[in-house]
Every structure is written in C-alpha cells, then in structure tokens.
Amino acid sequence: MRAVFGLVLIVGMGLAGFAIYMVQGYFEQQNAALAQQRAAAAAVVPTVDVYAVNRIMKHGEAITAADIVVIKYTEPFLPEGVFRTEEELFPDGMDELRVVTRQMEPNEPILAIKVTEPGEVGGITALLARGMRAFTIEVDVQSGVSGFLNPGDYVDIYWTGRANDPNGGNREVTKLIQARIEIIAIDQTSESGRTGATIARTVTVQVTPDQVAALAQAQATGNLSLSLVGRGDDTITASIEIDQAQLLGIQRAEPAPEVEIEEACYIRTRRGAEVIDTPTPCE
C-alpha cells in the first residue's frame, strides 16, 4: 500500500512539474509575441492621403477628375507642394483645370511645380520663376552637347569671338560668360521626360533681364557653346578665358620698352655760309 502511495506521489509531482514547464513556455511565447507586436507597431510610419495621377500624363494635358486617384503617402517624407484635398487641387471646380507642365507617371503624387495654376495655360510662361525671362539660343550637334540636353538640365555658356587685345589688334577668344543656367525648353517642347538623344536646333534658358542682354550681345558678335553641368553639382565656376596663343602655348612677344629721349636745346649761330649749333641748358 505504501508503495502504491509513493508511486502515486511521484507521478503527481512529475505531472505538476510538467504542467509548470508548459505554463512557463506558454508565457514565454506570449511575451515574445507581444514584443514582436510592439516592435511592429513602433516601425509603422504614419501615412496621409494625397492626390496622384492614375496614368501617364504628358506636358500640356489638363488634369480632370477621371485622371486622379487618392493614395497613401508616408507623412514624414511628404514632398512639398502635394495636394491633400480635392478643394486644394480644384479650388474653382472643374471649370478651371490645371495643366501638366512636366510628365508624371501612374500613382505619382501631383506636385504644384509640375502643374499650372487653375485655368492657366500650360505654356512656357508657367515654367518661368518670378523676375526671370526666357531666352533662346541657336545650337547644333557640337554646341548643343550632341543632343543630350533636356529641360531641367543646367549648362555653362561659353562665347567664342574676336576681342580687342590690350597690346593692339584683336584675338580669337573663348570665354565663360554665364555659369549654371537652367534649360526650360528644347526646340518647342518643355517636356522633361524625353529619352535618348535628340539633335536640337534651339535651346531656351531661364535667365535674368541683365543676362538676356548679355546673351543677345554675345550671340550677335560670336558663337555660343553649351557645356552640360552634372546633376547635384553646386560648385562655383571661376572666370575662364583662353585664346589661341594660350591654347598652343605660344609666348606673346613683350612690347619693346619705351626709350626716353633726353631733350636737348641749342643756340644756332650763322657765320656766313656756316651754321654752328651751341648746346645750351633747356628751360
């Protein structure tokens, strides 16, 4: 009898220990799952509703109610100029639509810099900043960087022509006249989503009125060439000027120094047929 009681006691203690082990494992699993949920909740980034286009929209197209869709966008990384309500996008209703000025892809948020104001014509004037003017430069394959220019790119503008030489005469010079100028149109298009190289005949840039006068004078008196500036390059270009002599390493002949001639005074005396000059101090 005692043996049976002892056996039952041992089995009971074993079952109790096993139960405690199972309960501990369960609580550990629950704690791990709770920790994962807390980590996932902390990693969630808040989002907001913004308006986007639901198809490819090209330059010059008007945005209608059929072209828009509401998407979720992460709030901490919200770009400037998005539209969060229909009243912001169409403040005057569907009678005054916005026009696309830069190509947009499906589900791309509509930004204020890529559309016109409501009812505004989507021409090149919509791309000009306040106080800026558009100026067109004639280019070819060489001066237009082989057609690899696009609206939105920045270029340095060089002038090549004949300039007056300080030592007299004139010389052929190439000089940087404008640095980091923004291109807003190629030929008759301001579409920035072009692919491949296109040989342009004209390039339109955005400049100040003073720069317009400088470029007009430069284009009338010489040839203009463009040099593409890398995206994100904000270095300041120093003044650059080179002529043929510098290019070929030819040393210019220094002008002969002026020889100072000492002034001399004479008293001329005539004795019959003979004339005698007698030196005398000059007053």
23 is a domain residue:
no
Same-domain status, 206 and 159: yes
Residue with tokens 């000009």: 128
Q: What are phi and psi of 65, to 5 degrees?
A: -65, -25
Residue pLDDT, tens place only, 204-242: 999 999 999 999 999 999 999 999 998 888 887 778 888
CA dihedral over 148, 151, 154, 159, signed as positive or negative: positive
Contact in structure between 132 and 212 (CB atoms under 8 Å) = no
CB-facing half-sphere around the CA of 134: CA atoms within 13 A? 18
Same-domain status, 109 and 140: no
Same-domain status, 139 and 108: no
206 is a domain residue:
yes
85 is a domain residue:
yes
Looking up residue 76, the CATH number of its domain turns out to be: 3.90.1210.10
Whole-angstrom distance, CA of residue 259 vs CA of residue 152: 59
Residue 61 has pLDDT above 80, yes or no: yes
> Residue 93 is part of which domain span?
47-122
- Can you give the length of the chain in residues? 283
78 is a domain residue:
yes
Residues with Cβ within 8 Å of residue 23, at least 6 apart in sequence: none
Q: What confidence category does residue 269 fall into, taking pLDDT thresholds of 50, 70 and 90? A: confident
Q: How many domains does the chain have?
A: 2
Same-domain status, 143 and 169: yes
Residue pLDDT, tens place only, 119-138: 777 677 777 788 999 999 99
When mean pLDDT is compared across 37-41, 80-84, 198-202, the lowest value belongs to 37-41
Read off the tokens for 250: 């030819």
Same-domain status, 88 and 197: no
Residue 141 has pLDDT above 90, yes or no: no
Q: What is the mean pLDDT of the chain?
A: 81
Whole-angstrom distance, CA of residue 125 vs CA of residue 116: 10
Contact in structure between 153 and 136 (CB atoms under 8 Å) = no
Residue 67 has pLDDT above 80, yes or no: yes
Read off the tokens for 278: 């007698």
In this prediction, residue 110 carries a pLDDT of 95
7 is a domain residue:
no
The Cα angle at residue 234 between residues 229 and 236, in degrees rounded to 5: 90
DSSP-based three-state secondary structure for 104: strand
Reported pTM: 0.56
Read off the tokens for 157: 């503008």
57 is a domain residue:
yes
138 is a domain residue:
yes
Residues with Cβ within 8 Å of residue 261, at least 6 apart in sequence: none
**Mean pLDDT in residue range 69-85:** 92
DSSP designation for 230: P
Domain boundary among 103, 122, 141: 122
Contact in structure between 137 and 202 (CB atoms under 8 Å) = yes
Same-domain status, 181 and 218: yes
